[in-house]
Structure 1
Amino acid sequence: MRLGLALPTFGPDATPDGILRICRTAEETGYDSLWTGDRVLAPRVPGAPYPSGDGVMPRIYENHMDPLTALAFAAAHTTRVRLGTSTLNGLWQPPLMLARSLTTLDVLSQGRLDVGLGLGWMPDEYTAVSVPWTGRGARLDETLDVLEGYWADDVFSHQGPLFTVPETMVGLKPCRRPGPPVFLAAFTPAGLRRIGRRLDGWLPVAMPLPHLMGMWDVVRKEAVEAGRDPDTLRMALRVNPELTERATDADRMPRAGTLGQYVDYARAAAEAGVHELFVDFGQSPATLDERVDLAGRFLEGVRQG
């Protein structure tokens, strides 16, 4: 199982020095990947509850960097680790612009990009970028159509219900053909079906492993029904540790627990068949030094298992 770290693109450590520190930590200690998230708004009174914990959005999101710009910076200061978005809201810009940005980042990183898309959870952000909240599934499908065509065709055009792209030459192509792998963060039946039928993988968040693998079985079944090989799909599992000093009861994991409990969870995930697991130690109130220390201890603990 591959292991990754979240870059500090939220909160007080969202600085050039913070990103460089985590980049060096990942490259030097043996992590496989670095990941960024996406926020454009931190409303004082959100229109929907945060989808985990007590429903209150973490205050670290009040300070947020652009995820693709941050990954480009990370690409310039790394040579080995893969670079992923968990997640990039794929509907907040026209798909042609998204295709250009992602292709550029893939080329600049020499083919190290993993594209993780999501639909978000807060209608306020859609209002802020003038994109309708309703019809997100159809908008995502057409966005994927544009990405696939832009990456595959030297002469590309698109005519759809939402977007029109006049015929154009496309000279810039991703390093990995037909394009970088595209993952989706989704938990509804429609979302799991979409992953199995047309995407490269799934971006779930940490949950009890029987439930996680049950949902993965749904994705694999959808792939088979679509005539795809389910063994080509990958799962990259996000873990947002809420670290405690004492061990928590089993029913609280993986929502909260000690570092040792999260190490055990990661080992069990590897045994269950999870392909990649990445941790965001910035979700806990840790300094940058503590974050680096936790990353080292976590990696050592999992690798020794």
Structure 2
Amino acid sequence: MQIGYTVPQYGAFADPDFIRQASTDLEAMGYNSLWAGDRIMVPLAPSDPYPGGDGTIPPAFSTFFDPLTALTLAAVSTREVRLGTSTLNALWQPPVLLARMLTSLDLLSRGRLDVGIGLGWLRDEYTATGVPWQGRGARLEETLDVMEAAWGSEVVEHKGTLWTVPPSHIDLKPFQRPRPPILLAGYTPPALERIGRRADGWLCVPLPMPYLTSLWEVALQSAARADRDPSALRMVVRINPMITDSPAPDDQVPYVGTVRQIGDYLLAVAEAGAHEAFVDLQTTSSSRDQFMDVAHQLITRLHAG
């Protein structure tokens, strides 16, 4: 299983110099991938609760470095590590512009980009960006249509419900052909059906194993119905643990635990079929030193098996 870590990006970690140095150091430690998330703001009276903990949005989300800029800094600071978004809220910008940004980053990194897309959970962010909350699934489908046309067609043309692209030359194409891998988030059967039908993998969080495997089976069956190879789909698991000095109760892992417990959980996830997992400590680390120290301890634990 591939192991990743997040690019320092928000709260106390949203510093360009730290992003560059941490990216270089994390690659040297042996991490396979670096990931960036996408938030805009922390409303004073949120429209929706945060999907974790007690529902309170982490205050660190009020300082959030742009994900594609963070990955650009990571790209020029590294050589081989893959670079992913988990997740990019792709509906907040026109798809022809998003396709150009992602193409540029894929070229800059010489084909190391994984495009992880989600729909978000906070209606306030849709209000702030002028995008309707309703109809997100259909908007995502057409967004993917436009981006795939921009990436793959010699003459790009699209006429849909939301966007029209007249026949045009868009000759800047991604380094990866026919396009960078697309990973989608979601936890409903329609979301997993979409993953199997047109994506390259699933971005998920720790779930009870029966629920996780049942959703994954929806994606695999959808891929088969679409005459795609189900075995080519990737499952990528994100965890946001609170690291403790003393062992946590088993029922709190991987949300809380020692480095050993979190490492053991990641090894178990690999045995359960996950292709990749990555760790984000930015809401639970007290300092940059701890952020990097845990990264070193964790990869050492995983390499030791």
TM-score normalised by structure 2 residue count: 0.97
Match of 2:118 in 1: 118
Contact 2:84 2:113 in 1 (8 A): yes
Structure 1 counterpart SS, 2:45: coil
Aligned partners of 1:39 and 1:61 also within 8 Å: yes
Structure 2 residue 55 is matched with structure 1 residue 55? yes
Question: 1:225 and 1:91 mapped to 2: Cα distance?
Answer: 27
2:278 match: secondary structure: strand
Deviation at 1:158, TM superposition (A): 0.5
How far is 1:304 from its partner? 1.2
Distance 1:103 1:286 in 2: 35
Aligned 8 A contact 1:267 1:302 in 2? yes
CA distance in 2, matches of 1:210, 1:299: 28
Aligned residue runs from structure 1 range 1-305, under 5 A: 1-305=1-305
How far residue 210 of structure 1 moved from its aligned partner, in angstroms, is 4.0
Q: Matched residues in 2 for 1:45 and 1:201: separation?
A: 34
Q: Are the counterparts in 2 of residues 206 and 240 from structure 1 also a CA contact under 8 Å? A: no
- Evaluate the alpha carbon distance shift between residue 62 and residue 106 of structure 1 in structure 2; reply closer, same or farther with a 3 A threshold: same
Query: How far apart, in 2, do the equivalents of 1:141 and 1:47 lie?
Result: 25
Supply the AA of the counterpart residue of 2:174: P
Residue 284 of structure 1 aligns to a residue whose secondary structure is coil
Structure 2 Cα separation of the partners of residues 227 and 177 of structure 1: 20
| SS of 1:83 mapped into structure 2 | strand
Write the deviation string for residues 49-106 of structure 1: whole angstroms up to 9, x where unpaired. Answer: 0011110011110100111111111111111111100000010001111111100110
Asked if structure 2 preserves the Cα contact closer than 8 Å seen for 1:203 and 1:238, the reply is yes
Across the aligned residues of Structure 1 and Structure 2, the Cα RMSD in angstroms comes to 1.1
Separation in structure 1 between the aligned mates of residue 254 and residue 126 of structure 2, nearest angstrom: 30
1:253: how far off? 1.9
Aligned partners of 2:206, 2:26: CA distance in 1, in Å? 21
The letter of the residue matching 2:223 is A
**In structure 2, the residue corresponding to 1:267 is in which secondary structure?**
helix
Q: Is the 8 A contact 2:86 2:117 kept in 1?
A: yes
Q: Secondary structure at the match of 2:168?
A: strand
How far residue 235 of structure 1 moved from its aligned partner, in angstroms, is 1.3
Deviates more, 1:165-174 or 1:244-253: 244-253
Q: Partner letter of residue 69 of structure 2?
A: T
SS class of match (1:228): coil
Q: Distance in 2 between matches of 1:158 and 1:218?
A: 30
- Is contact 1:208–1:254 with CA below 8 Å preserved after alignment? no
Shift of 1:244: 2.6
Normalising to structure 1: TM-score of the pair? 0.97
How many residues align? The count is: 305
**Shift, 1:246, TM fit:** 2.5
The runs of 5 or more residues in structure 2 that have no matched partner are none
Cα deviation, residue 214, structure 1: 3.0
Cα contact 2:84–2:116 (8 A) shared by 1: yes
**Farther-moved stretch of structure 1 (279-288 vs 180-189):** 279-288
How many angstroms apart in 1 are the aligned matches of 2:45 and 2:97?
A: 31
Counterpart-to-counterpart distance in 2, 1:27 and 1:36: 15
* CA distance in structure 2 between the aligned counterparts of 1:15 and 1:67, rounded to whole angstroms: 13
8 Å Cα contact 1:240-1:280 kept in structure 2: yes
**Contact preservation (8 Å) 2:186, 2:192:** yes
Q: CA deviation at 1:248?
A: 2.2
Identity of counterpart residues, as a percentage?
Answer: 51
1:101-141 deviation digits (Å, cap 9, x = unpaired): 10011011111100000000000000000000000000000
1:254 deviation in Å? 2.0
Which amino acid in the other structure matches residue 288 of structure 2? Answer: L
Q: Gaps (5+ residues) in structure 1?
A: none
Q: Which moved more, 1:126-135 or 1:68-77?
A: 68-77
